[in-house]
Each structure stands twice: as C-alpha cells, then as structure tokens.
Amino acid sequence: MLELKRALDAKGHCLLEMPSGTGKTTTLLSLIVAYMKAHPLDLTKLVYCSRTVPEIEKVMEELRKLMNYYEKEMGMEQNILGLALSSRKNLCIHPSVSKEREGKVVDGRCYSLTASFVRARHAADDAVPICEFYEGFDAHGKEFPLPPGVYNLDDLKEYGQMKRWCPYFLARHTITHANIVVYSYHYLLDPKIAEVVSKEISKTSVVVFDEAHNIDNVCIDSMSVKITKRLLDKCSNSITILETTISNMKENDSKRLEKEYKRLVEGLRDATIARETDMALVNPVLPSEILEEAVPGTIRTAEHFVAFLKRVVEYIKTRLRVQHVVQESPAGFLRDIHTKVCIDRKPLRFSAERLASLIRTLEISDLTDFSPLVTVSHFATLVSTYTKGFTIIIEPFEDRAPTVSNPILYFSCLDSSIAIKPVFNRFQTVVITSGTLSPLDMYPKILDFHPVIMTSFTMTLARPCILPMIVSKGNDQVAMSSRYETREDTAVIRNYGNLLVEVAAAVPDGIVCFFTSYLYLETIVSSWYDQGIIDQLQRHKLLFIETQDAAETSLALINYIKACDNGRGAVLLSVARGKVSEGIDFDHHLGRAVLMFGIPYVYTQSRILRARLEYLRDQFQIKENDFLTFDAMRHAAQCLGRCMRGKTDYGIMILADKRFSRADKRSKLPKWIQEHLKDTNCNLSTEECVQICKRWLRQMAQPFSREDQLGISLLTLEQLQSEEMQKKIQQRAQGI
Amino acid sequence: MADEDETKEYRWESGYEKTWEAIKEDDDGLLESNVADLVARAKRKRAALKDTGAIQLGMMRHLFVVVDASACMFLQDLKPTRFLCVLKLLEVFVHEFFDLNPISQLGILTTKMKRSEQITVLAGNQKKHIEALQQLKDLSCEGEPSLQNSLERAMNGLKNMPAYSSREILVLFGSLTTCDPGDIQKTIKSLKDNNIRVSIIGLAAEVRICQEIAKKTGGTYNVLIDDHHLKELILNQVQPPAVAGSMEASLVKMGFPGGSPIVNDGTSDSSADHAPAYCLCHIESETSSLMGPNGYNCPQCGSRYCELPVECKQCGLTLVSAPHLARSYHHLFPIKPFIERAQVRETTHCFACAKLFVEAETNVIIIVNFRLCLFYHSLPFLFLLKVYECENCNQIVCLDCDLFIRETLHTCPGCASDPVTAQMKTN
C-alpha cells in the first residue's frame, strides 16, 4: 500500500508482485478509492482490467464490500459510481438476441437492430425490427446518469430490465463519468476495441492490470494477424457482395456515395482535432500521419476501392502459394506488392478506415460476414504503417503434417510495447500486478516503460503453508529432466511415473500435474500405460487428462472436482500454458499438491518465436536464453500458484526437473515461493520428497483457526496501532 | 509377536525418515514449534469447550469404532505398523472407555476391499472386545477402504438404539481415499437425521470428505502427528461428548443384580439364584463351562451373567451396579474451567504437582502423556508461560495438571484440600 501510494504521488507507473490470496484486489481498491476521495482533482478515475468474467465479478464483490464499509463508517451515502463492463453477449437483455451463444453472433445481431440507418429505416417503416431497449436508452438514458453505487453485470441487467434500457449501451455511456470501471484487458489493449470503448477515459486515471503476467502476449496477440486460405476465400465472397451492393446502390441512391466521397476528401479531420485536444486515446492502428492527410484518390470511389481490395486479396493468395517457408519484413512485403500488383503504400494504409466507412455507407447490417475482410484490411494498414517490430511469415504447411498443404500467413507483432504504449503515455499511473511477475526487471524491458516502483511482496504466514521442493532424481538416482535429449528415455519417464504414484499415495484429495506440452503429455501417458504405472495410480486416485478440446476438458474438470469432493481423490494431468494452468483455481482440497514435470519452455522451433527472440536481442539487448528462461519460469510459477489461494489454504509444490535447482532458474521464481524453498529441499530424490510431504501434511492438518493467525498474519486494530508493530512495518518498508 | 518379526525388515530397507526432527526445533523460524503450540492450544480449547457448565452429557453411549484395514495400514510410519499400533491403542481405549462410561456399549467394524465387516456387535462387555481386537492382529490388510459402507453399517446398528443414548461412530482412517458405491452425501445426511455423531482420526493427512463428515455430524476430525499424539487423540474420545440439543430425557429402566458373592448361609430368598448355571454371555462359545454360584442374576428374568454391566440377553434389561452409575455421574457435574493467566510472579510452583514454572527459554517440546504428569515431578521440562487458576480456591496449576484434573480427577485438589471449601461442598 505504501509503495502504491508512492507511485500515485509520483504519477508514475508501477509493477507489483503480490501472492494470490493476500488481498491484492482489496488493497488496490481501498487505497485508490481513498486517494480519489482525498485528492479528487488529481485522480478522477480507476480503470481496473482483469482477465475473465468471473474475475471481474470478484473485483466487483470486493468493491461492494469496500463501499458498504465506507457507508457504515462514514454514515452516509458514498458518491462513487463503480461498474463492470463486458461484451454484449454477457449484458444483452433482448429476449431473442440474448439467447445466442456466440459472442460474434450477438454483436452482429445487436448491430443489425441498433445501427443508425436501421433505426432511420424503422422510423419510415414499422416492419423493420429494432431493439426496444436501445430505443429506451437512447430516448431517456443519456440524460439521467446512473445513481451512485456499485453495479456488477447482473445489477446492470436488472437495472436495464427495470428501466427498459439496454444495459450494454448504458454501461458504455456511463464509463465516461463513472469513478471506477472494471473490464477486460482487451477494452484497453486491443486497438480495435479500445477505439470504440475506452477512447474518452480521462487522462488523470489510474489503470490497473490484474493477473498481468501474460500482458506482453496479450499485447502481441492484439496486434498480430493470421491469414489462412479459407479466410481469403471468404474475403472474395464478401467482396462480391460489396460489388453487388454498390451497383445496386448506384442505381437507387447514388447521392449517398457522392456524399461519402466528399467526406473522404475532407479527410479524417475530425479525428485530428480530437487528438489535438487530447480527447482520445491514441490508436496505434491509426497512426497520426494519416490523420493529416485525405484519403488518397485511388480508393476514394467505392468501386475503385473494392477493386483495390480484390487486388490485395488476390495478391495475398498468390503469396500463399509457396512451397517453402518465407519470412520477410514489412518493407520487403511492400516492395513486392508494389512491383507485382502496383499497389502503393499509401492506399494500403487507409484500407481499414476506408472499409469501415464503406460498410457504414452501404448500410450493411450483418457485420459478421465481413469479419474476414476486416481482418485483411487491418493487416494491410498495419503492414504499411509499421516497418519495425513486425514480421511476416508464410508457412505452406504445419510442422507436424508436412504433407498436408495448409498455407498460413502470419503477420506477427514482435514488440509488445507497441500496443501498450498509448496506455502508458496517456494515463498518469498504470499498475501492473499479479501473483507471479518474477523476475520483475524483465517487464519494463519488454513493455518499454519506466516504472517508478517495482516491488515483490511476500506473505506473512502463521504457518509454512506452502512446501516447494525440487525433485531432481528418482529412487534409482537417475536424474529427472524434460531435456530434449533425455525426453524419450524410459528411465526418466518411469521415474516421473513413480514420483507421481508415490505422491498420490501420500497426498489426500486433489493433485494437479503440469506437463510441458500436449505432445509430451501424450507420449508420457502412453508409456506409463505400458509400464503399468497408470494401474498403480488408479489404485489411489482417479485420473483425468486435459485435452485440447475445451468441452472435453471442462467435463474432465467437473468430474475431477466431484472426485475430490467425495473423497475418492483425483489426479489431473494438464499442460502448462493450457486452459487449466491459466484460469482455474485449485483451492483447498482441489489442489493439495502441484507437480511440474519438466520446465515449460515454449516450442523453440516456432518461427514466430525465433523472430521475436531475434528482435528482442537486437532492440532490447535481451539474450534469447534469458527470455526463454523467463518465459518458462513465469509459466511454471503460474502453474504452482494454482494451488495456493489464501492464507488458510496449503499446498505442496513439486518441481520435478534437475534444471530447476540451478541458480538462474531458482532465482526467477516469485519471492514468496523462494522464501519457502529451503536449500535442503532443492535436490531431493523421490523418496525423500515423499517423506517430507507426509510429515508436512500432518502438521498442516492440525486444527488452525482465526485466533492462531491473529498477531502474525492477521492484525486487529489495536495490534496494528501498537508501537511494536509500527516499528516492524517501518523496518519492512525500508527493507524492501 | 511372530507376525511382527515377519514384517520387520532391515533398517536400510525401511523407509527414509528423520526421527530426530519430530522433537527438533526448526532453525529458520518458530514455525515448527508453532505447530506444536497449536496442538497445545487445541488441547486446552477442547477442555474448555467441555467445561461450559450446564451442558448435558451423553452418559449412555453407543459407539461403533471403525478400523481401516486397507492396504495402507501396513505402512510403517507408526511402529511396528499402522494397523498394529492402532489395535494396541484401541485396547487401551476400550479399557478406558468402559472405565469412564460403564453403562455404555461399543462395537467394532473394519473396512477393507471396499467392504465393511463387523467384528463385534454392540455390547458392554469389554473382555470380548479386547479379545476380538487381539484376534484382529492376524488380519491381513488389503484393498481400499469404503467410508460409506462402514458408515452405513454402523448406522444400521445404531439406528434402533434408544433416543436417550448418545450415538457415535469413531473412525480410524489411514487411507487417503475411499471407494464408495454411491453418493456419500446422502449417507452424511441420514447420519445427521439419525443424530449420529461421527468423529474421525486420520492417520496420514487431512482428507476433505472426513472433515466434512465430522463437521456436518457434529463430531471432531483430527490428524495425528506421531504415535503419542494418536494415543492422545484416541483417548480424547473417551470423554462423553456434549449432547446435541434434541436428545430427549427419559426414565430408563435398569436392573441392579444382587452383587455380593454368596455364602451359602441360607439368607438368600431363592436358592435358584445361586444354583450353578451357564453364564449367558459365554453360552454360545465352545469353551463355555458351568459357572459356580458366583455371578449376577437379572432381577427381572433371572438369567445369570459373569460380568456387569451388560444388557440382559433374555429380557433386554440393562444390568448395572451402583458404582458404575456413580462413576458416570461425575460427567454431569464437571468442575468449573480454570482461568488462564500469564505467569504470576509470587507463585513459582504448580499447586498440584509442585513443579517449578520454568520460563520458556528452550522451546523443547515433549509430548508427555498428561495422565502421568503427576508422577513426573522431577522432570526439568516444560515451557510454561500460561498457568491456570481455580475460581474457587485461587490455587494455581500448570497446563498438564489442569488437563489431568479435568479429565481424570474430576475434582480440584485446591478445593478438596481446603477445609472451608470442602466443607461447603459437602454441605
């Protein structure tokens, strides 16, 4: 809290690592809210970005508790408005649209009911359907702001139902004046969405990225484009639709096209004005240079533009017809497109803007069909805008199936700082926090910013409730490792199996195992099956396996939880970087032990990764190996952190690989894990590990209540105010 | 013991263990001793809980002991094996149980191979149970246990017991898994409906389902640290638990058989009482022999028993002797809880055991059987920071004496030795 206050005072960015379950969210919320109350001019808004909808809901719950406390203590209504925002899919209350399952379909149908031209048409002809909730909101909602309070998604829906206003648009509208906004990363990082949603958030805001250990990947994903052959085929279809619509319109209503043409001549002046007055967040897809210019003549008329698009798509199609892997820079690509099909850089740059404008003019209400075309236009804009930090890779086939032709064009962003830069530049304080951010110094480098505060916190605990261990060898003294050379070695696989069987016999309820990849998981499980290890395992616990299929995995998870609940016990085999390792908490009995088989390095043969490593080396002076280790260790830490969700929880963490005990790996674990990782537990054999587990589990099973924590990890008000404790806190603050 | 020798292996073949660590203080912090601290505090808390005064205690108890006999009971982390260790402690337990709860009944079940077996039926005869336990030592442990099956079986046995008795199940559970045929939640629910309290002692680690069963049925769940701790945990179950609210109070018909061994002086009213007869408790066994004139006759139907207390096999009357009832009686009037105080300067000795209150400089923890505390005067141990004061006589005792007084003596030595308060009590 102290550190956070310093960062707020300095109006700088900060990077905080706090173990999960230590009240990270509450701390952030309470301090920032208090700061907002104390300095209402310096700090007007809190934007809290989280990863998933359940996480957003959790944050809202915390906020509600905080507000209730304020009300109780201060005795009056608080003038603070907090709300959560999610996609239309989660907020829609339209009777038929909300039944749709897929987010894209909901978006499309919503657009077809609420777009301005549809509504205009409705005014003329009652038969055209519109959304009554949006109408209600449009008629009345804008004048009456939401009363102060805390609204989560359900509250918004309820409020919407009551007033007959559309909750989605209500929330979007309210963002501009709400004090606290909670939503997903993408609303801020993905340029396409940020443009629409987060544009008008004021400069004096605090932005918090929670669970941000993967933030660089999110940034990169939001800027990267992947084009497959199927996508291009769909593009061709939509271009034909465009053509027919244009010719239709020409016959019926040529005025509108003319109007558009004129507007384009004037250029994107409005946007320029907006940016100059510092109204909006800079959109990286829309670089400032093009704002000052008018849309080039070659693509101003609709037919010309469509023809232009056609050429681009055809050109990409020819590029995909390659027999070997091609990698080139955006500049090379531009040169090539210029020589082959005579397309300049400039019109390419405008293609995204131009397409959006065209779709608006043509009054196409079903946007879902056009998403492939939009993707291609984004690609065109990006490739012509950025010459640095991106690369183009064309692969004619997948590495795993070299005979099947499946050409893919990757336009891959190598620099994670591009997407997040506007956020850092615009907002006065950006807080990046997670349970596992170690090593901290890597993040400022790859995100290219200068934090004023960078701290890793540990937990104060009344008992040693995590037990990290590094198991390096089996009972037969054969070293365990997932190194490429020893990967197929049956002795290593057998040792891994024995480790799991023995741990399963000693640890109650749920055990979660993480492997480095799906491929490795499959080979290991099949050879365990041959060696009879699976049979042994099933004597103790039931076995569940995560697969690449999301439905199958969630079914496995449900049954895993069931098995843990009724005492049979279960083992879940899953993959680091998979769905299980990222979003799912195994608290209390669901995860008494986590085993990490091998170090989860990324697939180093991937060309995208290689390109990125090269870029990092050239631009930021980060050695390839450093980055790979960093990436592997943060995923390992993320997996390990799954089992620990609070101070009353306890869990064993077993790192089964010889290489973990090396200093360069060990020092990259989060501080709160390192603190408990004693030197004596760094080079254990299977049997030693099991002995330690058993003893530790018995200690942990002793009754443990709230009073036991008092004074150590939980302080009463008197204790907090006591002189001794104050001194301790001071010391600790200086120690950091 | 022959079977013990069989299972014994060479030291280097047996498991890797650090026996010294059980009593060692941790180098890097107080965490290890913290855990021991927690144990002591829990002990005290349990005692305090029972002492809340006017709670009704179940004087008549019907208890099923379920012993896990699955493969994991052959592990050697308790010496010589878990199973043998548990059986041995159970013998002590059975003895103590009938000592403190003379008019209660006990039955023993085992569970292995996903099934549950009945070893002894509910009965008040401790000899029979101890014999059965001794025979169990030859049983081989195999397969997985089934919590649900054994609970169901115990429940069937307890369901029809009269409502005024306290129905309990004690599970000694070594396994970390349970292999159940159905939904165990239903079993838990019907246990709850039947007012059956399930207490579980885990031998390995905290298992969620056990925790849940114990919590929902109002029992306790504990996991041992070592065999001393296990003994303590098992013996804690000897104390009758507080009654869960809904138990009805009712009059119970009991028989008091004429107890004194008879001399044939003709004073007895009927000669049939003393005629040689088969003892009904042993009549089924092969080795039964005609009993002499000594024994207890049921006042209702005249059947003869060699031992009390017992439920008459003929007419179902509970036969007890007056001392038995008297021994159960003290449960109804527990002494008031002592007040916990920080060490007082002027008193340096424990009033009960006359031991010095030593400042806790060494954090060495010796878990001593508190029962023996009185006889360990000379041991220079203990980390006493807290002392306990009797409300009535203001005498100060140590933690171990506090527990001893509460659980064994049932009378405060301070009050008893003070003529004034003792007088008051008798008045």
Residue A702: which of B31, B39, B209 has the nearest Cβ?
A: B39
pLDDT computed for residue B35 by the predictor = 59
Residues of B with Cβ-Cβ distance to A569 under 8 angstroms: 176-177
The per-residue DSSP string of A297-357 comes to GGGTSHHHHHHHHHHHHHHHHHHH--SS-EEE-HHHHHHHHHHHH---HHHHHHHHHHHHH
Q: Does B208 touch chain A (CB under 8 A)?
A: yes
A→B contacts (Cβ < 8 Å), by residue, are 462-464, 505-509, 539-541, 564-569, 588-589, 592, 678, 687-688, 691, 694-695, 697-704, 708
Distance between CA atoms of residues B198 and B214, nearest Å: 6
Residue A566: which of B39, B144, B180 has the nearest Cβ?
A: B180
Using alpha carbons, select from B301, B307, B302 the residue that is nearest to residue B321.
B307
User: To the nearest 10°, the Cα dihedral for A56, A57, A62, A63?
Assistant: 80
Q: Token pair of A217, please?
A: 């990947």
Q: What CATH number belongs to A466-704?
A: 3.40.50.300
Q: Min CA distance, B35 vs chain A (Å)?
A: 7
Residues of B with Cβ-Cβ distance to A701 under 8 angstroms: 202, 205-206, 222-223
Q: Min CA distance, B217 vs chain A (Å)?
A: 16
3-state secondary structure of A88: helix
Residues of A with Cβ-Cβ distance to B184 under 8 angstroms: 566-567
Q: Which residues of A433-453 are buried (b: 16+ CB within 10 A; e: fewer)?
A: bbbbbbbbebbbbbbbbebbb
pLDDT computed for residue A731 by the predictor = 65
Distance between CA atoms of residues B427 and B420, nearest Å: 11
Strands (E), A435-509: 451-456, 466-473
pLDDT computed for residue A573 by the predictor = 93
Residues of B with Cβ-Cβ distance to A507 under 8 angstroms: 176, 205
Block means of pLDDT (10 residues each) for chain B, 427 residues, are 46 57 47 57 56 55 90 84 91 86 86 89 84 89 89 89 83 89 90 90 89 89 85 82 62 73 44 63 61 75 77 78 73 70 70 69 40 41 61 78 75 77 53
3-state secondary structure of A419: helix
Q: Does B201 touch chain A (CB under 8 A)?
A: no
Token pair 């920032």 is found at: A32
Q: Does B152 touch chain A (CB under 8 A)?
A: no
Please name the fold of domain A21-86+150-211.
Answer: Rossmann fold (3.40.50)
Residue boundaries of the structural domains of chain A: 21-86+150-211, 223-416, 466-704, 705-735
Strand order in the sheet with A405-413: A225-228, A405-413, A390-397, A326-328
Asked whether the beta carbons of residue A565 and residue B209 sit closer than 8 angstroms, the reply is yes
The per-residue DSSP string of B51-93 comes to TSSS--B--SEEEEEEEE-SGGGG-SSSSS-HHHHHHHHHHHH
pLDDT computed for residue B264 by the predictor = 44
Provide the chain B residues 111-140 that lie in CB contact (below 8 A) with chain A. none
Question: Chain A: residue nearest B206 by CA?
Answer: A701
Q: Which residue ranges form the domains of chain B, and what is each CATH number?
A: 55-237 (3.40.50.410), 254-259+274-323 (no CATH), 333-370+380-426 (3.30.40.10)
pLDDT computed for residue A156 by the predictor = 86
pLDDT computed for residue B29 by the predictor = 47
Distance between CA atoms of residues A529 and A490, nearest Å: 12
DSSP bridge partners of A150: A82
Distance between CA atoms of residues A66 and A388, nearest Å: 45
DSSP at A659: G
Residues of B with Cβ-Cβ distance to A562 under 8 angstroms: none
A171: left (phi over 0), alpha (psi -120 to 50) or beta: alpha
Question: Chain A: residue nearest B36 by CA?
Answer: A699
Question: Chain B: residue nearest A676 by CA?
Answer: B28
Measuring CA to CA, how many Å separate A590 from each of A54, A512, A559? 18, 8, 12
Q: Which helix (H) or strand (E) holds A185?
A: none
Residues in CB range of B126: below 8 A, 6 or more apart: B94, B95, B97, B98, B106
Measuring CA to CA, how many Å separate A1 from each of A73, A459, A720? 21, 14, 15
Distance between CA atoms of residues A263 and A259, nearest Å: 6
Distance between CA atoms of residues A93 and A342, nearest Å: 49
Asked whether the beta carbons of residue B208 and residue A702 sit closer than 8 angstroms, the reply is no
Residues of B with Cβ-Cβ distance to A462 under 8 angstroms: 34
pLDDT computed for residue B371 by the predictor = 40
Q: Does B209 touch chain A (CB under 8 A)?
A: yes
Using alpha carbons, select from A608, A68, A600 the residue that is nearest to residue A327.
A608
Q: Min CA distance, B28 vs chain A (Å)?
A: 9
Distance between CA atoms of residues A219 and A424, nearest Å: 13
ipTM: 0.77
Total beta-carbon pairs less than 8 A apart between chain A and chain B? 101
Strands (E), B124-230: 166-173, 196-202, 221-223
Residues of B with Cβ-Cβ distance to A708 under 8 angstroms: 38, 41
CB neighbourhood size of B249 (10 A): 9
Residues in CB range of A8: below 8 A, 6 or more apart: A31, A32, A35, A43, A206, A429
Residues of A with Cβ-Cβ distance to B72 under 8 angstroms: 505
Which amino acid, one-letter code, is at B85? Answer: C
Q: Does B206 touch chain A (CB under 8 A)?
A: yes
Distance between CA atoms of residues A636 and A600, nearest Å: 7
Distance between CA atoms of residues B23 and B366, nearest Å: 7
User: To the nearest 10°, the Cα dihedral for A418, A422, A427, A433?
Assistant: -20
Using alpha carbons, select from A616, A213, A631 the residue that is nearest to residue A391.
A616
Evaluate whether A530 touches A518 at the Cβ level (below 8 Å): no
Distance between CA atoms of residues B163 and B194, nearest Å: 10
3-state secondary structure of A48: strand
Q: Are strands B277-278 and B386-389 parallel, antiparallel or unpaired?
A: unpaired
pLDDT computed for residue A530 by the predictor = 93
Evaluate whether A697 touches B204 at the Cβ level (below 8 Å): yes
Angle of helix B82-100 versus helix B227-236 axis, rounded to 10:
30
Q: Which helix (H) or strand (E) holds A408?
A: strand A405-413
Q: Min CA distance, B21 vs chain A (Å)?
A: 10
Measuring CA to CA, how many Å separate B51 from each of A377, B40, B337, B371? 79, 17, 6, 18
Distance between CA atoms of residues B108 and B97, nearest Å: 13
Residues of B with Cβ-Cβ distance to A508 under 8 angstroms: 176-177, 204-208
Residues in CB range of A214: below 8 A, 6 or more apart: A582
Q: Token pair of B168, please?
A: 């309990």
Asked whether the beta carbons of residue A566 and residue B39 sit closer than 8 angstroms, the reply is no
Mutate to test the interface with B, among A688, A697, A702 (most CBs of B within 10 A): A702
The per-residue DSSP string of A129-153 comes to ---HHHHHIIIIITTSPPPSEEE-H
Asked whether the beta carbons of residue A702 and residue B38 sit closer than 8 angstroms, the reply is yes
Block means of pLDDT (10 residues each) for chain A, 736 residues, are 73 83 79 84 83 84 86 76 83 81 78 77 78 80 75 85 84 82 83 70 83 85 85 87 83 74 63 46 52 66 84 87 84 87 81 79 71 84 82 79 78 85 84 83 86 81 84 90 85 92 91 91 93 91 90 91 89 89 82 91 83 87 88 89 80 92 88 87 90 88 70 64 68 56
Residues of B with Cβ-Cβ distance to A505 under 8 angstroms: 72, 176
Distance between CA atoms of residues A461 and A466, nearest Å: 10
Asked whether the beta carbons of residue B205 and residue A694 sit closer than 8 angstroms, the reply is yes
Asked whether the beta carbons of residue A697 and residue B205 sit closer than 8 angstroms, the reply is yes
Q: Does B389 touch chain A (CB under 8 A)?
A: no
Q: Does B283 touch chain A (CB under 8 A)?
A: no
Provide the chain B residues 26-65 that lie in CB contact (below 8 A) with chain A. 28-29, 31-32, 34-35, 38-39, 41-42
Token pair 């990698």 is found at: A327
Evaluate whether B355 touches B382 at the Cβ level (below 8 Å): yes
Residues of A with Cβ-Cβ distance to B188 under 8 angstroms: none
